Structure 1
Amino acid sequence: MMEKVSSTKPDKAITEAKGFCNSCRKKMPVSKSQYSICQSSVLSVVTSNQPRREKRALLCCVQYKNQKFELKGTKHDLNNMRDLLVKQFRFPTASMLILAEKEPYQAPTRKNIEDAFQWLMRDIQSGDSLVFYFSGHGLRQRSVYGDEIDGFDETICPVDFETNGMISDNYINKTIVNPLIQGVTLHAIIDSCHSGTVLDLPYVYNINTGKWDDNRSPSGESKDTSGGKAICFSACEDYQLAADTSAFSMNNKMTGAMTSTFIRAVEQAAVNKQKLTYQGILKHMHRSLKQVEKVGCFRAGLKRVFHRKILQDPLLSSSEEFDTDTEFKI
């Protein structure tokens, strides 16, 4: 039986934000090349004659080792999310591509992530279930294309982003959302700061009203799929920071707050033999994070953006409106 969030002791919980100070942001431009789909060769670990798979998952966890903004929780996030996909959702290990800063995995560089996107989408067919999971830093910067309601592009940060640039929401949408054909579903789980609309999906679920808000581009640019479906669980709103915390760990290990609460929602539904729905996952995540927020994390020793509580609201977005009481399946 999993421990309850309310049992967390405030004097043992440590929380740090997956974000940067403003002085760091100015050094990290997004190259214009991100707005065209990468045609580079696939990762060396992926063969050209890979077998047909109905389930395929890309897991990318960036620790930023030996850098001033190193994260402690992503290495545990990787193990936890991989185990969830394999044990709970029966993803074959042979159909998973993992990028991480440890052997035997390829490093989560910008090029490797872009190549891995190509692997994820290659030869997709109706009936396929795809998963993209990212745990790491995220940023936002002023959009120059007029395609964002809030005026900002959201990004994810590869391990080499300071030298080779970030990966923007525009690029992610064009690479793994737009190519989705009829009958193919992509689930993205993004645990990073400013990740709310990092896939640029046109609809955002409002947990307060129970309705979908319109997030379509004000410029009229289409961010749709090619007939398939994309659904994204994000760690927080576009303007918020995501946290690494020990609040959800029995052994005081740092993990992504969003990743931990997402996994707990899935596992608790299975233990209690309850129907697992999109709305149920989102509400469970909100409830768990609010409980920790009330308790507070007063021994937070933060290296980056500083706060002593978890102040993030997980978000659900989609390429189309749907009944969120639908059973969650991947």
Structure 2
Amino acid sequence: MLMLVNCSNCHTPLQLPTGALSVRCAICHAVTLIAEPRGLPPPPSPSSFTHYRPDYPRAPPPGAPSPYNHAPHGPLSSVHGSKRAVICGISYKNSRQELKGCVNDAKCMKYLLVNRFNFPESSILMLTEEEADPYRRPTKSNIRMALYWLVQGCQPGDSLVFHYSGHGSQQRNYTGDEIDGYDETLCPLDFETQGMIVDDEINATIVRPLPLGVKLHAIIDACHSGTVLDLPFLCRMDRNGRYFWEDHRPRTGVWKGTNGGQVISFSGCDDDQTSADTSALSRVTSTGAMTYSFIQAIERGQGTTYGAMLNSMRSIIRSTDGDLMGGGMVTSLLTMLLTGGSGVGLRQEPQLTANETFDVYAMPFSL
């Protein structure tokens, strides 16, 4: 079985030779002892990419270690009911990477889930810098634990949501499982010292273990986030609403789908795009452009199907006015309301990816 470790210095994913106790990084030349072993499952047969695979390992039972050995060691919430969510908003306050709307994104998303989709508050795990509990701060370790908690013990009929608002990035891929040669990443609060969370890990933690009958939605408001869940298919849609499914299954044959469950991800932009950071006035309450468009599409009654949802989000973002400052992901909510959606459009296009293809204009949208 292929084993991967993160370089202890630059955090690049490295292949660990069979039987080896250490590996030297070709990028920074640091020697890394065995740490964070990541066993990848054997590749499936070509005919099974979009079908339930009963031979694939099922979601781990409660208390079992996650695929990346980050089982919760802190007092996380217990599982409540059939709806569960992890909401993460990171502002990187008082740093040169500071963002203005991400904590507001988290609060707005929680309100939407509770009041529109009947998620119990006790089933929503919030990770923001405002949290006093050290286990609720959006550090790399806590986000990893929260993702494991999200899928732990899930059962058929469960609806899961992962929302993230913060910085996203890319890094070179050296395993050959990315079409563009880059892994997409999320940047936790402590990413400068602890490193980023790579799409391979996100996929292994919340996508691959998902059992039949469970649905997971990811709403990712970050730069370079188009395929940050490493899902096999991307809905390539033009401005007229015509689309086709772009195949992102890696040529290496590494399995990137689920264990029978359904995963659909809305992301703020394509892998090679950045989400715009716009704010008209310092006293204006800001939210992420993508998060705002997602919520507005639902509130306006335009989220009937996944295709209608994606078209509505893109239309809202294209019509957003503001002061463009590339690299972040916040936009002036007040400016959007005052202008009625007129003015300069943001240079980003929300994307839809999934573990299997479907008719986006026929499948009803629901959380």
TM over 0.5, yes or no? yes
Cα 1:34/1:142, change in 2 over 3 Å = farther
SS of the aligned residue for 2:146 comes to: helix
| Superimposed CA distance per residue, residues 93-146 of structure 1 (whole angstroms, 9 cap, x where no aligned partner) | 000111110134511000001111111111111111000000000000110110
| Aligned residues: CA RMSD | 2.3
Shift of 1:302: 6.9
Superposed displacement of residue 245, structure 1: 3.1
Residues in 1 aligned to 2:71 and 2:118: alpha-carbon distance in whole angstroms: 29
Distance 1:84 1:190, change over 3 A: same
Task: Give the distance between the partners of 1:185 and 1:95, measured in 2 at CA.
Answer: 15
Q: What corresponds to 1:46 in structure 2?
A: 76
1:242 Cα deviation from its structure 2 partner: 1.0
- What is aligned with 1:130? 160
SS at structure 2 position matched to 1:174: helix
The counterpart of 2:271, out of the listed 197, 216, 238, is 238
| Greater shift in the superposed pair: 320-329 or 152-161 | 320-329
- The alpha carbon displacement at 1:29 in A equals 3.5
The alpha carbon displacement at 1:304 in A equals: 7.2
Once the two structures are superposed, residues 126-182 of structure 1 have per-residue CA deviations (whole angstroms, 9 ceiling, x without a partner) of 111000000000000110110000000000000000100100000000000000000
Contact 2:277/2:325, CA 8 A, preserved across alignment: no
Contact 1:193 1:240 in 2 (8 A): yes
1:249-287 per-residue CA deviation (whole Å, 9 max, x = no partner) reads 9x7322110000010000110xxxx66211111101111
Amino acid at match of 2:179: I
Whole-Å Cα distance in 2 between the matches of residues 291 and 232 of structure 1? Answer: 23
Aligned letter for 1:100? T
Report the equivalent of 1:218.
251
**Contact residue 245 and residue 255 of structure 1 kept, 8 A:** no
Q: How high is the TM-score relative to the length of structure 2?
A: 0.74
State the alpha-carbon separation in 2 of the partners of residues 167 and 289 from structure 1: 27
Where does structure 1 lack aligned partners over 5 or more consecutive residues?
1-26
Counterparts of 1:28 and 1:258, CA distance in 2? 30
1:317 aligned partner: 353
1:28–1:161 contact (8 Å) kept in structure 2 = no
More helix by share: 1
Match of 2:86 among 49, 53, 58: 58
- Hey, what's the Cα distance between the residues in 1 that align with 2:347 and 2:37? 30
Partner AA of 1:91 in structure 2? F
Structure 1 CA distance for aligned equivalents of residues 253 and 100 of structure 2: 40
CA distance in 1, matches of 2:327, 2:357: 39
Aligned equivalent of 1:161: 191
CA contact (8 A) 1:258 1:314 kept: yes
Preserved CA contact (<8 Å) 1:28 1:162: no
- Return the offset for 1:210: 2.0
Query: CA–CA distance in 2 between the matches of 1:194 and 1:89?
Result: 28
1:84 and 2:120 equivalent? Answer: no
Higher mean C-alpha displacement, 283-292 vs 135-144: 283-292
Aligned-partner Cα distance in 1 for 2:10–2:222: 16
Tell me, what secondary structure is at the counterpart of 2:277?
Answer: strand
> 1:179-218 alignment to 2 at 5 Å?
179-208=209-238, 209-218=242-251
Q: Match for residue 261 of structure 1?
A: 293
Change (3 A) 1:204 1:34: farther
**Structure 1 counterpart SS, 2:231:** coil
Tell me the amino acid that sits aligned with residue 98 of structure 1: M
Deviation at 1:244, TM superposition (A): 3.3
Superposition deviation, residue 204 in structure 1: 0.6
Q: 1:244 to 1:148 in 2, by over 3 A?
A: same
- 2:128 is the counterpart of 1:100: yes
What is the aligned-residue identity percentage?
Answer: 44
Q: Is the contact made by 1:133 and 1:188 (CA closer than 8 Å) also made in structure 2?
A: yes
User: Where in structure 2 are there 5+ consecutive unaligned residues?
Assistant: 1-8, 15-35, 40-66, 330-343
- The amino acid across from 1:313 in the alignment is E
Helix, strand or coil for the counterpart of 1:133? strand
**8 Å Cα contact 1:69/1:303 also seen in 2:** no
Distance 1:62 1:91, change over 3 A: same
